[in-house]
Every structure is written in C-alpha cells, then in structure tokens.
C-alpha cells in the first residue's frame, strides 16, 4: 500500500492506495503542537478502525502547506511502518511544467492538484480548491501550469462577518437553505455558498473564453461538496484530487 498525506491549514487528509484504488481516506486536525508520536498513535488507531491495522506499506508521500509539520509527519509515518517517505518540494520529480514566475515558490497543494487533474482529464483544465483559502490553478492545452488565483476561503468570509459586525453569529459552512434566506443564518449561508458558486461560474465563463468550451473544470477541497450543487456550470467534483496527484508523484519517483 502507498500512503498519501496532504497537510492543509485546517485538516490533514491521508489516503491509502492499493494499486490504483483509493481504499480509505482518514482525516486529522492540523495541530502544530502535536508530536510525531501522537500523530503516529492517531494514524494507527484510525487505520485499525477502518480495518487496515495490519497492512504493510510500500512507502508514503507527504505534501504540506504547514512547513513545521512536514518533519513531524515524516517521522510519524516511519513510526507506523512506512520504510520510505517522500516529500513534495524542490528536487522531486512531478512531471509538471510550471510556466509561472518563481516555480520553486509554488505551493505543493497546487502542484499535487494539477498532477491529480492530469490523471483525470485531458488539458486544458482549471482546478478550484475550496479549502481554508480558495485557489484556482489553470493548465493550458499542453498540461503546463500557466496561472493561479488565490482568494479568501468560504469559511474565512463567514468568520470575518462575525468578527467585524456586532450582531452576526459565527457559523460553519453548511448547505444553504435558500438563495435568499428568511433569517440571519440562512442569509449568511446563502450569501457565502451561493456567492462562492456564482464566483466559480463567472470565472469558468472567463476561463472558457480564453481556453475554449472544451475546458474541464474540477472542484476539490474540503468545502467543495457544499459549492458543487449550487454551481450552474458543468463541473467535475473530485474531493480527493490532491491524493491522486500524490500517488502519481510517488510512482514517478519510485
């Protein structure tokens, strides 16, 4: 089994691949205070819970947007039995052509998402990743990463409303009850979720004007499941896109 680990700002997602099949997905909270031993114990417990307690690992690969946690998770993966742990960063072969300024500074999450997208479809394509931040990555017809956009995430927008206003409550992202709410909670969720979907539709329209109507649009990330039903554009939903990219990068470097 190949274990793929994607460390985000809010959550750590780990997926196990047996061949091409993603057998399980585990989620842990991102916490820079935890030690490698604690993460290893959590991973072992979750693996046992899902029926993979006695599995042997061929190796593992980690991508992180939280630099302090990268060595911690590397050690944790060794502790649970991964003999080889790769990390996405300078020096690793991704097969992705980066036609952007400062390719070395490109976030590993964007790289993994782009590589994952190329496993799903033929370019050109754009990837919307709805996580703590909302990011967009564009791949041209040759499969090269040619541009990106970064904006506040949906949860960040809701948090900002609660922090900067006297009467609005703090809410988590959830399916909106209506386009126009009949109470404060419905109004906030409708504005946040339908607003993100409308932004997505608008950007897709502009990207298709550049790359053509055949452009594939992929939505991923922890909050993407709330956005997809509210989109009017034709989109592909793949919540585990980065894990698919991590597996492809691991195989390229094996």
Neighbour-count burial of 33, counting CB atoms closer than 10 A to its CB (0-12 exposed, 13-18 middle, 19+ buried): exposed
Q: 29 an active-site residue?
A: no
Q: Is 241 annotated as a binding residue?
A: no
Q: Is 129 annotated as a binding residue?
A: yes
β-bridge mates for residue 218, sequence order: 127, 236
Give one DSSP letter per residue of 64-127, joined into a string.
ESSGGGHHHHHHHHHHTT-S-EEE-STT------B-SS-GGGS-HHHHHHHHHHHHHSPSSEEE
Q: Is 94 annotated as a binding residue?
A: no
Q: Is 31 annotated as a binding residue?
A: no
Q: Is 124 annotated as a binding residue?
A: no
Q: Is 6 annotated as a binding residue?
A: yes
Residue 115 has φ and ψ, to the nearest 5°, of: -65, -40
Q: Is 80 annotated as a binding residue?
A: no
Half-sphere exposure at residue 90, Cβ-oriented, CA atoms within 13 angstroms: 4
Q: Is 11 annotated as a binding residue?
A: yes
Q: Is 13 annotated as a binding residue?
A: yes
Q: Is 107 annotated as a binding residue?
A: yes
Q: How far is CA 73 from CA 11, 36, 76, 143, in A?
A: 13, 6, 5, 30
Instruction: Single out the catalytic residue among 31, 109, 140, 201.
Output: 109
> Residue 167 carries which DSSP code?
S
Q: Binding site membership for K(+): which residues?
A: 129
Q: Which residues are catalytic?
A: 109
Q: Binding site membership: which residues?
A: 6-13, 107-110, 129, 132, 184
Q: Binding site membership for ATP: which residues?
A: 6-13, 132
Q: Binding site membership for substrate: which residues?
A: 107-110, 184
């Amino acid at each position: 089994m190949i274990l793929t680990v994607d460390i985000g700002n809010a959550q750590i997602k780990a997926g196990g691949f047996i061949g091409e099949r993603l057998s399980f997905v585990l989620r842990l909270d991102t916490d820079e205070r935890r030690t490698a031993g604690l993460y290893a114990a959590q991973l072992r417990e979750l693996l046992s819970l899902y029926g993979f307690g006695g599995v042997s690992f061929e190796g593992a690969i980690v991508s992180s947007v939280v630099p302090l946690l990268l060595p911690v998770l590397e050690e944790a993966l060794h502790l649970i039995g991964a003999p080889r742990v790769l990390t996405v960063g300078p020096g690793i072969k991704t097969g992705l052509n980066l036609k952007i300024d400062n390719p070395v500074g490109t976030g590993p999450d964007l790289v993994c998402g782009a590589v994952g997208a190329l496993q799903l479809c033929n370019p050109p394509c754009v990837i919307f990743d709805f996580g703590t931040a909302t990011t967009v990555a564009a791949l041209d017809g040759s499969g090269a990463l040619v541009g990106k956009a970064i904006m506040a995430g949906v949860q960040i927008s809701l948090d900002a409303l609660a922090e900067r206003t006297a009467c609005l409550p703090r809410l988590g992202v959830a399916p909106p009850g209506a386009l126009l709410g009949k109470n404060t909670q419905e109004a906030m969720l409708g504005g946040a979720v339908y607003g993100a979907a409308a932004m997505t539709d608008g950007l897709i329209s502009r990207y298709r004007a550049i790359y053509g109507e055949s452009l594939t649009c992929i939505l991923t990330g922890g909050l993407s499941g709330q956005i997809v039903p509210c989109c009017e554009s034709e989109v592909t939903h793949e919540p585990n896109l980065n894990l698919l990219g991590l597996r492809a990068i691991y195989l390229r470097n094996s």
